[in-house]
Structure 1
Amino acid sequence: MDYIAHIRESDQEVQTVAEHLLETQQLAEIYGDKIGIRHITGLAGMLHDLGKYTTKFQNYIRLAIQNPENPPKRGSVDHSTAGGKLLYNLFHIQPQGAFDQQDFMNKGLLAEVVGNVIISHHAYLQDFLDPNLESKFLDRVRDRKLEGFDHAVALFYEQVIEETTFYHYVNQAGAELVRYMKRDDKTETELKMMFLTKFVFSALIDADRTNTRCFEENNVKGDISSNEPMIHQKLFQTYYEKLMVHINTLQTGLNASSSIQQLRKEMSQQCEQFADKPSGIYTLSIPTGGGKTLASLRYALRHAAAFEKKHIIYVVPFTTIIEQNAQEVRKILLDDANILEHHSNVVMDEVENIDGESNELEDAVVNTRQKLKLAKDNWDSPVIFTTLVQFLNVFYASGSRNIRRLHNLSESVIIFDEVQKIPTHCISLFNQAVNFLKTYASSSIVLCTATQPELDFVHNKLEIEPDAEMVHDLDFVIEAFKRVEIVDKATDVSMDTEKLADFVEQRLADEPSILVILNTKTVVKNLYHRLTEGSSGVPVYHLSTSMCPAHRNHILDKVKQHLANQQPVVCISTQLIEAGVDISFTCVIRSLAGLDSIAQAAGRCNRHGRDEMKQVFVIDHEEEDLGRLKEIKIGKEITRKMFIDLQRDQACYGGNILSPQALEVYFQKYYTELETNLNYFIPELRKNMTELLAANRSENTYYRSYYNERGTILPLFLANSYNTAADYFEVIEDHTTAVIVPYGSGAKEGKEIIADLNGQQSIEDLSSLLRRAQQFTINIFHYEKQQLDQNKALVSYLDGKIWALTEGAYNNSYGLNLENDSLHDGFIL
């Protein structure tokens, strides 16, 4: 009898359970080899669908195939528990008599790590112990009775791997676990196990879905080739040569002999020299306008070639515009196919039933839902641009779509651009994730910003290397790049929208180009409307995250054209323009905020030093509602006090509000003020997320309460709450939904993408469509989604997994329109 794992949609060809398990094992081993755990990840691969060997599951599949119009009820069979149960039975129940206690503990930990991954591969990692003092893990692997389990195990040993060979394989996995544990003697066991579990989960999810997709596409070679690292190495060498041609052109141009250009050249060379150092965590503090993107790329390509890295990953703030950096790099490397921009998850990630009974039908028969799950979305591109939200989601968010990418962060060069933008409640989680990538995943990390935060000042420190700074004589460089003076108008008087509009119009008499940066989208939109109603005749543009990336790009291109032609222009923006955007105005007005934001705003003024000195005005906008923006509010008050300090003593902070001394003081005060929130405090549970994820048993209050209530210890080595932590995790504290917007009318633009969602798509076409959709997606808050629903402005596609706006809900001037009453062409600028 052929035991079926999958049925191909196109020709009804069968993939057997043995084929799927062995092929998934092979892929998982390749992924695990990146951090020296090929047998641990391979173990998860070979056991994950053991439950498909039951007669009950086979009858279920055949009935689904025979009755496609009336298939059996979804979730009526559990196939994902069996592999975890086998590991628990074999290696977790303490043997009688003499035994090796350390070996028992190692095998027990292995059974918990790999078992949790297996039972969770249709949902998310389970809690070993949850806030109700229940163990969903034990419920599955110890307590659940599985019909046909013994017969399935016998078939596994017969068709997949012989029993003695299996035990030998487990011993190899156990030896890998010991080596993994010894790699770092400073980190607690629970934190090590948490990251190990998540890495193995990532490897299994990607291996399982990749093998299933390759079978469905009849790709007999699979999706991994043994020479892929060699291909990436050749690419990086080619990219380096192209980059150097571009850099040499800049260094021999008209302004090549200027002092600024000479400094840029020296810093770029210093980055290349730094690339010969071993992988670690380093800082690159080039001032704004100093050529940071190209210098960091030069380091990354050189280091990747020298140390055989697989990926170069740029991570930018969730509030910035990643396409600006990607566009600059694309123009130099000339290779769209191998450069991925990942803004957000276009597809809603279905968080499935934790009991392993929710997705069995889709796992066997490919349909629309399964195609969305299989669509290639695993960050395997050589060069990736993504956001801080997406990076943190990989490690901590629920669902399997995010974590699938984790293993591809290993053996990489990861550049965090404008790293000071990490939300404070995520500081410890960020530091722990980056430390893992450095210590265990052989990745090299660059913290890239002109305003370095004090990430080694907090309790869960970032393990930055000694002598980590790439730029020599930083104080001299900062002084040489000084092109603006900060004018404090915030401590004198506040302004409303009307007064601010008057101030902008007054400044237009002296300055041809003005950028206004405010703290909330509401006041940005209000000022935009007020200025467009004025009579100055100067073009006014709006930028915010209510606009999709393609729209923001289009607006920025228009603004840059005005600036290049030295034509008057005003741009009103949220803080998204402060990082990653190469643009220069003759005057900047910044609403009072954190000192790092003011420094970044100053970087958009007189950026290239064409004028001797220009002014950045800091104002206090009285109509900004910062009630839900705690970090901005606290940063604003610290900065206000520092301005007052400088008024009282002009020598304070070295006489410069943006000096390195001032920024150091600012960040230390800022993190001290927010100290109770740095570990991601969860008010509902009165716990920090770091405790849920990695507290040892002596500090785990759930573990102690379990013992006090039941009079017995939890019979597990781990007691952490992975699922509960993921349920509470959000980088942006208000949950958002990605929606595709009908911006643009070309063949590859938003309207066309939305129209294509109605058609039948292959997995390959769907992967391409979702990649294109990145440029035409915005994220909306829950209250916005409710209002759009009420105004009939949302349309769902592909079984409710993808959302799109109607045309009336998107305005061609300012983006999202909750009222759904925009004219087709928007406002004329």
Structure 2
Amino acid sequence: MSKLTWVEDYWAHTPSDGSGGQPHDLLKHLQDTAKLAQQFAKIFDAGNLAYLLGIWHDLGKYNPEFQQYLRDAKKAEEQGQELGRKGPPHAVWGAMLLQNRLGQHPQASTFTLPVLGHHAGLEDAGEGEQKILGEPETSERLEIMQEAIQTFGLQPSGTPEKIPTQPYQQELFTRMVTSALVDADFLDTEKHFGQERPEARQYDLDIPQLWQRFEAGRQKLLDKQQKNGKKVAPHVQKVRDEVYAECLKAAEGKPGLYRLTVPTGGGKTLSGLAFALKHALKNDLRRVIVAIPYTSIIDQNAKVYRDVLGDDAVLEHHSAVETKSRKAGPDQQAEDAERKQGSALRMQLASENWDMLLICTTFVQLFESLFARKTSKLRKLHRIARSVIVLDEVHTLPPELRAATLDVMRTLIDDYGVSVVLCTATQPAFETDELTAAFKNLSQTEIVPQYADHFRELTRVKYALHPEYPNPAAWNTLASEMKTEPQILTILNTRKDSLALIRELQSQNTEHLYHLSTLMCGAHRKKVLAEINARLDDKTEKRPVRLVSTQVVEAGVDLDFPVVYRALAPLDRIVQAAGRCNRNGNGEALGRVVIFQTLSGKAPKGPYQKGIEKARTLLETSQNIDHDMNGTEILRRYFSMLYGDVHPDELHIQPLRRELEFRKVAETYRLIRDDTVSIIVPYGDYLKALIQWQHFPSRKSWRALQPYVVSIYTHEARQLAKGGAIRELEEGVYLFEAVGQYDPLVGLPIDRDPADLIYIPDGGNVL
């Protein structure tokens, strides 16, 4: 390996149209990346370290073999060809030099792993060290790297800040500095190649402007609702006004941990946003991140935010809007051309690194990124520092992951100036958890101190056990009772139970029967919900609606039934189900919530099943179920019992974090453990959207296809594929091809034997 003496300059990247045909100068790239990384990490007191990593990250490109590779790639491109080989590794060279200089430094991994993984992602500490030590010709490579430092005159400015020594803090700190480095590297490289991209990233809004928009937009929305005749009972409006006022008052407080406990119908969505924006304004925080558990409800929340703040103010980022693109090259060109129109490009770019003021995302996107190793997910993390995180429906966080989840939340609060808002009608009472230390001695501010009074004031329902309880209620009994109620919602724990009840209702010739579940595509559910709400909102007559649903309606779905039946479930789920009963408090009498046991007794296993056991104990020992369920103390007792029975680190993630096992942590921390695939179903205008996506795969065309997609478990897809009911279009994406078998009532009929389905012959495919 010879030293590089034959070139006049050193390249970081090949010439591009975006740079006027000039190569990307290596020294300039190192310096510009280092300065940008320093700017990003300065917010959490790691600017000097990030600068050092920026200088070191691509130093390995000084390698004469890498410089030859770049020139060969340029020559091949000029001849309209592809080089056909990748360049030699370069990240490991910078990591090697750092390792050599640091020796046995106890926090050496926080220096070396970000450099080693700035393309491929963070390695486990032990594996990363082995990769570095396993490099051949170490002495000669180190000599070349030393020559690069001398040639470029590199003297990293400032002494790296003190790295946290507490293992869990060091683990998150390493992710954060990696995030700053990766984002800076992407942005500087994009500036070289990006053409219109750097200009599209310009963003003029700030938090003060967003707050002004909110005040005006909220009033306009309230006026519109009143004009449209959407009446709210006076006592409900009183509570909403008090909640809003308390949110504005509490927003004056300092960053920390907050709890927003609001009964269903208390105006949580807008009041929570009001707190977050004003709190950010008062404390000079940089952005607001609203995380929601389900993609099924994120659209409606994001729509409310856009109605109030404007389309340009809200970034909606979750799996349903991420691109499923089957090819590179032409597809990317089509996508870039498509996104040049309006603000589409701006939103796409912002989704890469969350460079927006208001992000509406999912728990999966937020928390799995906080435990991620891949650069695509890590890139956004540094933007979380000095932000407000609103965790809506926080009770849905998996209790078996709470040790790692709460620990990261605590570290964000303590080390990164973040305010976290735990927002729900059923507070999980983490402070009662004797098995998890993360929230011990952490001050929690109740945004609405009088929340217990509000629960009493908004008592809209009367709870009761089914007459057959504790024995199971037969399907024909439940069906007969539903037939006698003109407007009733029954919620089951499983899709199979829902379908069993529907079949019984059909056998009894029940009219005005509806169904909601995740077996229905979004467009189907939206249409059904619109029809149901139109019937429920009709004040001229009581139009019959008999709805059978899975848990999909329990979080954020705006339904208002006079009667709700709920299969025995975790206690917080029963309370959430009651939120769909007499929601606006306009009924002449209290709504009725009836709790029953099912014939099958089936329910999701694990913590959900344990939650059912705790709920059963509390209900069967209650002296006055209606009084207890309309209060708040029973939920504290419930969560205390649940946490005592569900290990907070069931998957042993914390020991992996302690040893900086980044790859293993990312593989283990999963909010949704079962892998799912996407099934495109024949509903509505699906064919038009499908053809568009297949011809022009892009973020926009994939999102247009989402209303016609159903997610099912991989093992369910295998059963359908075995008989030919679905055809794979690309990895993880299938087309449902069973003729006439997408049911207008229940959606995808995956509970049936695939042999019972009728299939399109091989020659009859529509595409």
Q: TM-score scaled to structure 1, two decimals?
A: 0.79
Superposition deviation, residue 197 in structure 1:
0.8
Deviations 1:325-377 (A, max 9, x none): 22222233332563424245745899xxxxxxxxxxx9xx9786999999753
The answer to whether the aligner puts 1:37 opposite 2:61 as a matched pair is: no
| Aligned partner letter, 1:14 | P
- Contact 1:236/1:301 (CA < 8 Å) preserved in 2? yes
User: What is the distance in 1 between the residues matched to 2:71 and 2:721?
Assistant: 40
Are 2:663 and 1:692 aligned? Answer: no
The structural deviation recorded for 1:67 is: 4.9
In the TM superposition, residue 587 of structure 1 has moved relative to its aligned partner by 1.0
Map of 2:712 onto structure 1: 780
Deviation of 1:545 (Å) = 2.5
Distance 1:326 1:570, change over 3 A: farther
> Would the aligned equivalents of 2:61 and 2:90 in 1 still touch at CA under 8 Å?
yes
Q: Which residue of 1 aligns with 2:489?
A: 515
For 2:457, the aligned partner's letter is A
Distance change (3 Å), C-alpha of 1:549 and 1:416: farther
CA shift in 2, pair 1:308/1:551, >3 Å: farther
Match in the other structure for 1:84: 95
SS of the aligned residue for 1:267 comes to helix
Partner of 1:587: 563
Cα displacement (A) at 1:140: 2.1
Q: Distance in 1 between matches of 2:567 and 2:99?
A: 58
Tell me if 1:543 matches 2:516.
Answer: yes
> Equivalents in 2 of 1:72, 1:89: separation in Å?
34
What is the SS of the residue equivalent to 1:659? coil
Deviations 1:180-212 (A, max 9, x none): x4xxxxxx6111110101112222333333333
User: Is the CA contact (8 Å cut-off) linking 1:240 and 1:302 kept in structure 2?
Assistant: no
The Cα shift of 1:144 comes to 1.4
In the TM superposition, residue 60 of structure 1 has moved relative to its aligned partner by: 3.2
In structure 2, the CA distance between the partners of 1:586 and 1:230, relative to structure 1 (3 Å rule), is closer
Q: SS in structure 1 opposite 2:162?
A: helix
Partner in structure 2 of residue 388 of structure 1: 363
The C-alpha deviation readout for 1:48-92, integer Å capped at 9, x for no partner, is: 2222222222333444455579856656721221121111111x2
1:668–1:654 CA distance, 2 compared to 1 (3 A): farther
Alignment-derived partner of residue 668 in structure 2? 728
What secondary structure, in the 3-state scheme, does the structure 1 residue paired with 2:445 have? Answer: coil
Q: Which residue of 1 aligns with 2:536?
A: 563
Displacement of 1:483 after TM fit?
0.8
Distance 1:302 1:823 in 2: 57
Partner of residue 793, structure 1:
726
Which of 240, 261, 267 matches 1:285? Answer: 261
Q: Give yes or no for contact 1:123–1:400 (8 Å, CA) kept in 2.
A: yes
TM-score normalised by the chain length of structure 2: 0.85
* Inter-CA distance 429–208: structure 2 relative to 1 (3 Å threshold): same
Shift of 1:482: 0.5
**Is 1:755 aligned to 2:691, yes or no?**
yes
TM superposition shift of 1:224: 5.8
Would the alpha carbon gap of residues 778 and 190 (structure 1) be closer, same or farther in structure 2, given more than 3 Å must change?
Answer: farther
Match of 1:117 in 2: 114
Q: Would you say the 8 A contact 2:325–2:331 is kept in 1?
A: no
Paired AA for residue 442 in structure 1:
G
What is the letter of the counterpart of residue 668 of structure 1? S
Q: 1:814 to 1:397 in 2, by over 3 A?
A: farther
Aligned in 2, Cα 1:436/1:744: closer, same or farther, shift over 3 Å?
farther
2:462 alignment partner, SS class: strand
Deviations 1:282-311 (CA, angstroms, capped at 9, x unpaired) = 111111111111111111121122223332
Provide closer, same or farther for how the CA distance between residues 325 and 29 of structure 1 changes in structure 2, counting only shifts above 3 A.
same
After TM superposition, give the deviation of residue 237 of structure 1 in Å: 2.7
Partner of residue 269, structure 1? 245
What is the CA-CA distance between 1:255 and the residue it aligns to?
6.1
The verdict on how the C-alpha distance between 1:547 and 1:759 changes in structure 2, with shifts beyond 3 A counting, is same
3-state SS of 2:597 partner: strand
SS in 2 for 1:492: coil
Match of 1:379 in 2: 354
Q: Which amino acid in the other structure matches residue 392 of structure 1? A: F
For 2:525, which of 552, 567, 577 is the aligned residue? 552
Q: Tell me the distance in 1 between the aligned counterparts of 2:444 and 2:103.
A: 49
Displacement of 1:151 in angstroms is 6.0
Across the aligned residues of Structure 1 and Structure 2, the Cα RMSD in angstroms comes to: 3.5
1:26 corresponds to 2:48: no
Rounded Cα–Cα distance in structure 1 between residues aligned with 2:23 and 2:748: 47
1:60 aligned partner? 69
Structure 2 match to 1:356: none
Q: Which position in structure 2 is the counterpart of 1:708?
A: none
Matched, 1:242 2:217: yes
Equivalent residue, structure 1, for 2:177: 200
Q: How far apart are 1:533 and its partner, in Å?
A: 5.7
Assess, with a 3 A threshold, how the Cα gap between structure 1 residues 52 and 420 changes in structure 2: closer, same or farther: same
Give the letter aligned to residue 437 of structure 2.
Answer: N
Q: Judging changes above 3 Å, is the alpha-carbon distance between structure 1 residues 255 and 502 closer, same or farther for their aligned structure 2 residues?
A: closer
Q: CA 1:390–1:552 in structure 2 vs 1: closer, same or farther (change >3 Å)?
A: farther
Aligned to 2:186: 209
Check conservation: 1:344, 1:738, Cα contact below 8 A.
no
Which of 448, 451, 457 does residue 423 from structure 2 map onto? 448
2:733 to 797, 803, 815: 803
2:162 matches 1:177? yes
CA contact (8 A) 1:117 1:197 kept: yes
Q: 1:337 to 1:657 in 2, by over 3 A?
A: closer
The residue aligned with 1:702 is none
Instruction: State the Cα deviation string for residues 380-404 of structure 1 (Å, max 9, x = none).
Output: 3322222222222111245333222
Distance in 1, matches of 2:98 and 2:131, equals: 12
Q: 1:614 aligns with which of 591, 594, 598?
A: 591
**Counterpart check, 1:672 vs 2:644:** yes
Which residue matches 1:305? 281
- Taking the TM superposition and a 5 Å limit, the aligned residue runs for 1:465-484 are 466=443, 468-484=445-461
| Whole-Å separation in 2 of the counterparts to 1:541 and 1:499 | 18
Give the conservation status (yes or no) of the 8 Å contact 1:497–1:623: no
Residue 654 of structure 1, CA deviation: 9.2
Distance 2:130 2:632 in 1: 55
* Contact 2:11–2:23 under 8 Å retained in 1: yes
Give the distance between the partners of 2:360 and 2:747, measured in 1 at CA: 23
- Equivalent residue, structure 1, for 2:24: 15
The alpha-carbon distance between structure 1 residues 327 and 554, as it changes in their structure 2 partners (threshold 3 A), is farther
Identify if the C-alpha distance between structure 1 residues 266 and 728 changes in structure 2 by more than 3 Å, giving closer, same or farther. closer
Equivalent pair of 1:545/1:576 in contact (CA under 8 Å): yes
* CA–CA distance in structure 2, aligned partners of residues 498 and 640 of structure 1: 23
Are the equivalent residues in 1 in contact too, given 2:320–2:703 (CA < 8 A)?
no
Q: Which amino acid aligns with 2:33?
A: T
Deviations 1:546-595 (A, max 9, x none): 34444433332222112112421122222121111222111111110011
Aligned letter for 1:659? Answer: G
Return the offset for 1:14. 3.2
**Residues 665/338 of structure 1: CA separation in 2 closer, same or farther (3 Å cut):** closer
Deviations 1:421-472 (A, max 9, x none): 1111111122112112212222211111111112122323336854611113
Native 8 Å contact 2:302 2:314 kept in 1? no
SS of residue matched to 1:380: coil
Query: For the residues of structure 1 that align with 2:217 and 2:543, how far apart are their CA atoms?
Result: 34
- The answer for the alignment partner of 1:577 in structure 2 is 553
1:88-237 alignment to 2 at 5 Å?
88-90=99-101, 92-93=102-103, 105=105, 108-109=106-107, 111-128=108-125, 135-145=126-136, 149-150=141-142, 152-154=144-146, 156-157=148-149, 162-163=153-154, 165-166=155-156, 168-169=157-158, 171=159, 174=160, 176-177=161-162, 181=164, 189-219=166-196, 221=198, 231-237=206-212
Is 2:6 the counterpart of 1:6? no
Whether contact under 8 Å (2:322, 2:699) holds in the other structure is: no
Q: Secondary structure at the match of 1:519?
A: coil
C-alpha distance in 2 between matches for 1:50 and 1:323? 44
Distance 1:66 1:560 in 2: 64
